[in-house]
Structure 1
Amino acid sequence: MNRPSYWSVFGALLISVVAWGAESSAVPDFKLYVGNSRGDDISVIDMASLKVTGNIKAGERVHGVCLQADGKRLFVTVETDHTLRIIDTATQQTIGTVKVTGRPNQCAATPDGKYVAVPIRDGDSVDVIDVSQQKIVKTLPIKEPHNALNTGSNRYIYVSSMGSHEIDLIDLEKMDFAAHIPTGGRPRPYTVSTDGKTMYVAVADLHGFVIVDIPGQKVTARLEIPAEHATLKKLQYETQDTLTHGLALTPDGKELWVSSLKDDAMYIYDVKAKKITGRVNTGEGPNWIVFTPDGKYACISNAETDDVSIIDAKTRREVTRVKVGKVPKRLAVAQAHQ
């Protein structure tokens, strides 16, 4: 297989991230979409009022949620019937359903909404779906895939391979892998810096994260965060090797917020200073985190208490805790559409 140089790949990713980020920062109002993993719906939180304003029915066992960049379409994976649902966010109605090849996990969409990547957990594969055609156009092999991630590129999407201890990069033009990036452990959620050079990865059995040099394809640091509690309490909706799950960079890239399932909190890592500079308590079982594009709020799903912590990112204080559906996990946020 002929592959592009890593610098050309990540240069293209950087251009896309910068352009997408500039567009998103001008959006005044946002909606937060909360996948309720033991329910059949997605809770919709209006980020102006910080209240639930809608519930979108999708199907039992919602797993993944993602959005195209303009927020007009929401994509949801449903485990029980092995489908990807395409939802119009203005009407909150399903406008398309695509049958996938197995049990789907966390999806990712290109900013233009042309493609959605769906990891198939029980199929050791990832389905690439053409949204306009509403059909699978490629299925690629990947060992125990879990989370897909788009960082603002219409050409590239990341997918984690828990079985191979790596994050794989899909080139959507070639419909093949462009890179296989080792993570030094079984990867859980991960995020990528805006320059496309650094990846932060939660891995199994680590209360913290690893730092990966993407162009160099190597782990450069492993940071274990000291915890208040020595052991992990028994969790109903997460495996016992998961000490850290959700993590995300602030929109300005200066801070990495990292969940602690030991302490029911978010720890804040200063990227430049390379140290933990703060902690904010959450509900029980903090699972996923997203920031509003303007950087005002951090939103954390609490799987054990069926709610979402809304935190003022500047003051590092919880503003409110919003009750949602059963066992909330994946989150997505974008511009509100009427």
Structure 2
Amino acid sequence: MKKPHLITAAAIAVSSPVFAQQVPNGAADIPVSSKDRVYTSDQFSNTVSVINPATNSLLGVIKLGDLTPANLSPLYKGELLVHGMGFSPDRKTLAVVSIGSNSVTFIDTATNSIKHKTYVGRSPHEAFFRPDGREVWVSIRGENYLSVLDGRTFKETGRIIVPNGPGMTIFSPNGRYAYVCSSFSPETVVIDTRTKKVAGSVKQASPFCPDIAASPDGKQVWLTFKDVGKVMVFDARPPFAILKTIDTGAITNHVNIARNPNGQFAYVTVGTENVVKVFRTSDFEQVASIPVGALPHGLWPSGDGTRMYVGLENADAVAAIDTLSNRVIATIPIGQGPQGVAYVPGAVPNGEGMANLMPLADAGKKVQLILEGTGSSQVTLFDQGQVQILQAAVAGLAPKTAYVLGLASDPQGKGKIEPLAKFMTSPSGSAVVNTLGPLRQIVTAEVKSVRRYLVVAAGTPESLGPVMQVQQR
């Protein structure tokens, strides 16, 4: 009797296409496993959340700092506004940027312990290892340079002058080029990593680029423009010609690339629509718009490109997207206000990787509100104990216009308004607005006798105009 033909796992691996993932530290496909970790940098709880992607569950958080008001003390020693995130090519080290304390914290992925802290220039934004692991390049957004750190000692070895306000640096898959977009100047520069000199420049669609991604095939660079709601694509090779500019929507924040058996795709977070939009990189056509949750921010693909993990800034959660179906398959509660996301394959080669993790605790408490009228705003109150951090994603207002977020005693917004924060809308009529105070008990129904309602009014605190948006619940 003839034996049935058996297809072994090895045969499948050989016959399946191999994709390079996770620029700048790409490798051949690495299937999702319990040895992998998803990390988020949580700006308001000053933590790093640690997720097991095999179960899509939160394992705990790494505490880098305290909540407000403890972090306002002149004697405070913790990190503040934990924000950016990158990892080493050997997947053993996580680099976490804190913009408020001007630091890069290096964490051992196997033990969740802090290896080193390096303090850099004003308001760093992102830090990425070169593909050879020899250096870490930190974008110092509050100044006009990249801080170059030794990849082993983590000490600064030099600086590279770039246009004012570098928002982020990403490397080409082969490490030849570093692409540096700006958050204050309408120019992206390309640095030759061998000489550390500018090899080219690209005119940005606006001065405010928060994020940039290089495609795994080494052919394209995608960057976002938060203020005008666009993404731009340019050729990753000289002369770095612009290939496409796409209107994506207000508060377009981060972009990343995934390759899977269906092709290569760019995933873009659009904050005011609470979606991730997906574009095919071959012809720039949009192929999906995925509802994910409140104010999607950072995102990063799994080691095999079959998933995209998205931080939901105003939902204190991560959404896991199946890139083959472009559907959310899990939503995972994490720390407050996630910004950067990193997926690190094989981060924990041995053991359970639970050392030095703390429970989520109070960092998971929040209240969400909606304001409607001319346009719409989504508001989250992040609980910090006796006070709350308020963050509003405002949209649908007049571009480049002054407004005030305030409190009204009338549910229709009539009468006197107490100003909380003034802001100016972007060219797309949107803004992210922050303030701090004991707001939960005032704007919710917890204490009805003192309840007030959030409103957005035109004008300034000194000269208020008509109410444009009113709290609905």
Shorter-chain TM-score tier: 0.7 to 0.9
The correspondence for 2:328, drawn from 314, 318, 335, is 318
Q: Identify which of structures 1 and 2 has the higher relative contact order when contacts are C-alpha pairs closer than 8 Å and 6+ apart.
A: 1
Question: How many residues matched?
Answer: 309
AA of the residue aligned to 1:76: V
Alignment match, 2:337: 327
Q: How does 1:1-338 map to 2 (within 5 A)?
A: 21-25=26-30, 28=33, 29-58=35-64, 59-142=79-162, 143-186=164-207, 187-214=209-236, 215-225=238-248, 243-252=251-260, 254-335=264-345, 336-337=347-348, 338=350
Tell me the secondary structure at the aligned position of residue 262 of structure 1: helix
AA of the residue aligned to 2:152: S
Counterparts of 2:123 and 2:148, CA distance in 1? 14
Q: Cα deviations across residues 48-105 of structure 1 (Å, max 9, x unaligned)?
A: 0111113122322112110012211111112233221111111111111112122211
For the structure 1 residues 22 and 133, does the alpha-carbon distance in structure 2 shift closer, same or farther, using more than 3 Å as the test?
closer
Q: Cα offset for 1:20? A: 5.5
Counterparts of 1:312 and 1:82, CA distance in 2? 35
The structure number with the bigger radius of gyration is 2
Task: Give unmatched runs, 5+ long, in structure 1.
Answer: 1-14, 228-241
Q: Cα deviations across residues 103-139 of structure 1 (Å, max 9, x unaligned)?
A: 2111111234321111112222210101323311111
Counterparts of 2:196 and 2:21, CA distance in 1? 19
Counterparts of 1:161 and 1:334, CA distance in 2? 26
Q: Cα offset for 1:156? A: 3.6
AA of the residue aligned to 1:190: I
For the structure 1 residues 17 and 56, does the alpha-carbon distance in structure 2 shift closer, same or farther, using more than 3 Å as the test?
closer
For the structure 1 residues 89 and 16, does the alpha-carbon distance in structure 2 shift closer, same or farther, using more than 3 Å as the test?
closer
Q: Cα offset for 1:21? A: 3.5
Q: Cα offset for 1:154? A: 4.3
Counterparts of 2:49 and 2:165, CA distance in 1? 28
Contact kept in structure 2, 1:16 and 1:153, CA below 8 Å: no
- TM-score (ref. length: structure 1): 0.83
Contact kept in structure 1, 2:310 and 2:318, CA below 8 Å: yes
Counterparts of 1:286 and 1:160, CA distance in 2? 20
For the structure 1 residues 82 and 254, does the alpha-carbon distance in structure 2 shift closer, same or farther, using more than 3 Å as the test?
same
AA of the residue aligned to 1:175: K
Alignment match, 2:386: none
For the structure 1 residues 246 and 17, does the alpha-carbon distance in structure 2 shift closer, same or farther, using more than 3 Å as the test?
closer
- TM-score (ref. length: structure 2): 0.61
Q: Cα offset for 1:146? A: 1.2
RMSD: 2.5
Contact kept in structure 2, 1:39 and 1:326, CA below 8 Å: yes
Contact kept in structure 1, 2:38 and 2:52, CA below 8 Å: yes
